[in-house]
Structure 1
Amino acid sequence: MIATPADSEGPEAARGQDASPSGFMRWKLVGPGIVVAATGVGAGDLVATLVAGARFGYALLWAAVIGSIVKIALAEATGRYHLATGSTILEGWRSLGRWTSWYFGTYIILWGFVYGGTAMSATALPLSALFPGFLPFWAWGGLSGLLGAAFVLLNRYAIFEAVMKLFIGIMFVVVVGLAILVAPDFGEALRGLVPRLPDGSVIYTLGLIGGVGGTITLAAYGYWVNAKGWTGPRWMGMMRFDNRVAYIVTGIFVVAMLIVGAELLHAAQISLSGGDRGLLDLEAVLAERFGSKVATIFLIGFVATTFSSILGVWQGVSLLFADFVRNLRGIHAAGDRTDLETSSAFRFYVLWLTFPPMILLTLGQPFALIIAYGAFGAFFMPFLALTLMWLLNGRAMPREWRSGWLSNLLLALSSILFAVLCVNQIWSML
């Protein structure tokens, strides 16, 4: 089992506070981590992993493993802040100064508009391929957004979590099944765990480490932890276990996708289209090599991947927005956080993600939309990593739960990694 940062940090007295379940009961309670992982792994992430496997074979397998460890560190830090302080990440950001509110408020409004169009377009792709001619592309996209909004507005966290577990189960079975079907070379895979950088692989390596498993939805992890009923330091052990399980599953998922790219595309020198459409190219390759049934099963996994991202963002990022509005209004009582899901701000943001971006669907996912989404995604992760370092070492954090050397090291490395990716994204736009 991979150790999470700060697992062995803090005095024994602090560990004694942990009254969370153990044994089989822990496995039954796993959930918020699965939700954040299912939300964070989107079609674009799968294409990035496939392209890395297609170009470099197994050489970057080690980067996929390190990427999972980085995301474990970030999600653990978010969950630890919520549990140790009793505050939300939005309250923490506000304590750092008003600049964080301006940054986050501007970001979440612009990002929501761009992401809504991107997510609905991504879900329309496999649906159009599964049911050719049944509905136009824009209608599939709009329908997926409407279904996501209706589900989130009509259901509370428990049902939401159960459905997200179902989707990640489908994703996992389909992708791992494909990896087994293409017959991986275990010797090459083991050699791929040794860090090396083939020519031209630096940006792909950084993307694998930093790009798979969530961006802004990592900040929603603490809210899902609280929605599960985990509050206070006594749930720290359960939160860490939940987080590890989720990102180990994500790691297996990413490794499986890289194996598919290495075995199916690398040897045949097959290239994929950019963006989400690359998965349709893979569907055509699968149909040619394994038949239409395998290709159809893959498209079902594709739908599970994209629609789970819609559900997760419509629910999780709307919680972030609702808490942002609550903080702007100066409401800080703990009891006022329990009804974020029923607040008018939550409902507004769900609708903001759904209706205005439908305009973008009629444009056929223009190139400018793809560029804008990539840019917005790049700007959030350095902000998250840097502010988490600040908050987890600040005075408001109880001393026994502050970050130790390992947590600080991983957060610092994450900050540098995401800053480099951000600069590269801007450079590629120019």
Structure 2
Amino acid sequence: MLKALGPGILMAGAAIGGSHIVASTQAGAFFGWQLLIVIILVNLFKYPFFLYGERYTAATGETILHGYHRLGRGYLYAFFALNLANAVLNCAGTAFLAASLALNLGLEGVLGEKPLAVIISCICASIIILGRYRLLDKTAKLVIFCLAVSTVTAVLAAALQGPAGDPNYESPSPWTLASIGFLIQFMGWMPAPIDVGAWPSLWMQSREKETGHRATMREAMIDFHLGYITTVVLAVVFLTLGVLVMHGTGADFGETGAQFAHTFISMYANTIGDWATPIVAIAAFTAMFSTALTCVDAWPRSLATCTALALGKEKLFTSLHIIWILLTVVTGIVIITWFTASMGQLLFIAMVVSFATSPVFAYINYRTIQAEWVPLQYRPGPLLRCLSWTGMAFLSISTVAFFYWLIAIR
């Protein structure tokens, strides 16, 4: 079992980032407990499409991207195109947000956000290129452990102190046209875009090479659920922090994710005491660093796998992975250095593309796990099929609502 644990935890590290430290905390700060049910439902509706990555690999011994390739090259090329755009923009964005949060660890005045973001990008690339999967796995597990301990400690301290806001404050409704943009984006990134569901499948093969053990279906499912449940629990924990520390205070939370995070940490210190600042600062930074680290590995890993499959040169995967890591990080550094002012718009475009394609990739994952070459006993049963179709309907309706909102605000 210990030899199989890893890919699901890495996926948790990728998911617990902006969607948690920013979006979940904002949800609690803006709307109180009203979006708690949304966190639970959206994670339930997306659950099958993240599950199918590890399930497919455990059933067939190949990655789910091999399954895309078997279905038809068009599926693989579409996945490659989406990942190419996301890799550069999101790796730059997560590194920059991690750098802005690192300033709260005593680095303010020592280094600026841009140099810190470049350093974090280089550290992540070095861990992966020099240490390969072994060091990535060990580092991510340590970071997730620190994240879980610091976050739970932070929410317990806030709970003992009691809510900081006005007890008579009436929360605005999230079910209005004005709020639909935040609501849709919140659901789109919770726990992560659907294309992230392919990553554990890729990590499973690396884990097998590392340990010499091919995970059984039972072991793979335990690993997946351990990571997925962790993401859901911590999403609720961050929402709770938003409710306890920020909701009903009337504070100006800032316009960007970084400004919101800084405001949250300062308000936490004012509510609980300066002694607690390092706890929530570590929780915020480790959340984003874990995302930055796993993204610098996983998006290039996806691109390298797609390239190797398209060329029919799977033996070149290691070299292609390193090449894509370097290309992604260098391009990300260029964006951080010269296009920081436009990063918010660039990330919004990436989010729109990723969100709009979610129903498509959900369907592709469903088709892949239902393929004739997957052993019958590992294909979805009636309950999972029903949940899959419900999830695809939910994603489709959410996408239509999002574009309606975009048109309405213009």
Tell me how far 1:117 sits from its aligned partner. 1.9
Residue number in structure 2 paired with 1:51 = 26
For residue 219 of structure 1, what is the amino acid of its counterpart? A
Equivalent residue in structure 1 for 2:217, among 236, 249, 269: 236
1:87 counterpart = 2:62? yes
**In structure 2, the residue corresponding to 1:272 is in which secondary structure?**
coil
Residue number in structure 2 paired with 1:323 = 305
Tell me how far 1:203 sits from its aligned partner. 6.1
The answer to whether the 8 Å contact 1:175/1:301 transfers is: yes
After superposition, residues 19-98 of structure 1 pair within 5 angstroms as 26=1, 29-98=4-73
Residue number in structure 2 paired with 1:214 = 192
Residue number in structure 1 paired with 2:394 = 417
The answer to whether the 8 Å contact 1:174/1:301 transfers is: yes
The CA RMSD over aligned residues, in Å, is: 2.7
Tell me how far 1:271 sits from its aligned partner. 5.1
Equivalent residue in structure 2 for 1:306, among 282, 285, 288: 288
The whole-number CA distance in structure 2 between the counterparts of 1:275 and 1:70 is 28
Equivalent residue in structure 1 for 2:228, among 243, 247, 272: 247
1:100 counterpart = 2:78? no
The whole-number CA distance in structure 2 between the counterparts of 1:251 and 1:271 is 28
The whole-number CA distance in structure 1 between the counterparts of 2:58 and 2:324 is 26
**In structure 1, the residue corresponding to 2:373 is in which secondary structure?**
coil
The answer to whether the 8 Å contact 1:84/1:233 transfers is: no
For residue 189 of structure 2, what is the amino acid of its counterpart? G
Task: After superposition, give the CA deviation of every residue in 1:113-143 in whole Å (9 maximum; x if it has no partner).
Answer: 2112212211111123431121222111111
Task: After superposition, give the CA deviation of every residue in 1:388-429 in whole Å (9 maximum; x if it has no partner).
Answer: 111122222221211112222222222233334444454555
Structure with greater proportional helix content:
2
For residue 253 of structure 1, what is the amino acid of its counterpart? L
Task: After superposition, give the CA deviation of every residue in 1:90-115 in whole Å (9 maximum; x if it has no partner).
Answer: 22112222322332222222222211
The whole-number CA distance in structure 2 between the counterparts of 1:132 and 1:411 is 46
1:407 counterpart = 2:388? no
Between 144-153 and 171-180, report the one with greater CA deviation: 171-180
The whole-number CA distance in structure 2 between the counterparts of 1:118 and 1:205 is 21
Residue number in structure 2 paired with 1:359 = 334
Residue number in structure 1 paired with 2:247 = 266
The whole-number CA distance in structure 1 between the counterparts of 2:367 and 2:140 is 32
After superposition, residues 322-341 of structure 1 pair within 5 angstroms as 322-331=304-313, 336=314, 340=317
Tell me how far 1:303 sits from its aligned partner. 1.7
The answer to whether the 8 Å contact 1:207/1:421 transfers is: no
The whole-number CA distance in structure 1 between the counterparts of 2:37 and 2:160 is 16
The answer to whether the 8 Å contact 2:25/2:238 transfers is: yes
The answer to whether the 8 Å contact 1:182/1:260 transfers is: yes
The answer to whether the 8 Å contact 1:118/1:373 transfers is: no
The answer to whether the 8 Å contact 2:45/2:387 transfers is: yes
Tell me how far 1:69 sits from its aligned partner. 3.2
**In structure 2, the residue corresponding to 1:127 is in which secondary structure?**
helix
Percent identity reads 20
The whole-number CA distance in structure 2 between the counterparts of 1:293 and 1:376 is 42
The answer to whether the 8 Å contact 1:51/1:271 transfers is: no
In structure 2, the CA distance between the partners of 1:113 and 1:209, relative to structure 1 (3 Å rule), is closer
Tell me how far 1:214 sits from its aligned partner. 2.6
The answer to whether the 8 Å contact 2:20/2:234 transfers is: no
The whole-number CA distance in structure 2 between the counterparts of 1:184 and 1:391 is 48
The whole-number CA distance in structure 1 between the counterparts of 2:76 and 2:50 is 21
Task: After superposition, give the CA deviation of every residue in 1:77-100 in whole Å (9 maximum; x if it has no partner).
Answer: 111111212332222112222322
- TM-score between both structures, scaled by the size of structure 1: 0.82
Between 99-108 and 253-262, report the one with greater CA deviation: 99-108
In structure 2, the CA distance between the partners of 1:276 and 1:199, relative to structure 1 (3 Å rule), is closer
In structure 2, the CA distance between the partners of 1:157 and 1:180, relative to structure 1 (3 Å rule), is same
The answer to whether the 8 Å contact 1:213/1:250 transfers is: yes
In structure 2, the CA distance between the partners of 1:205 and 1:374, relative to structure 1 (3 Å rule), is closer
The answer to whether the 8 Å contact 2:19/2:191 transfers is: no
1:390 counterpart = 2:367? yes
The whole-number CA distance in structure 1 between the counterparts of 2:152 and 2:141 is 16
In structure 2, the CA distance between the partners of 1:148 and 1:55, relative to structure 1 (3 Å rule), is same
The whole-number CA distance in structure 2 between the counterparts of 1:49 and 1:234 is 33
After superposition, residues 189-228 of structure 1 pair within 5 angstroms as 199-200=175-176, 209-215=187-193, 216-228=195-207
In structure 2, the CA distance between the partners of 1:426 and 1:155, relative to structure 1 (3 Å rule), is farther
The whole-number CA distance in structure 1 between the counterparts of 2:18 and 2:27 is 14
| Number of residue-to-residue matches in the alignment | 388
The whole-number CA distance in structure 1 between the counterparts of 2:41 and 2:364 is 21
- TM-score between both structures, scaled by the size of structure 2: 0.86
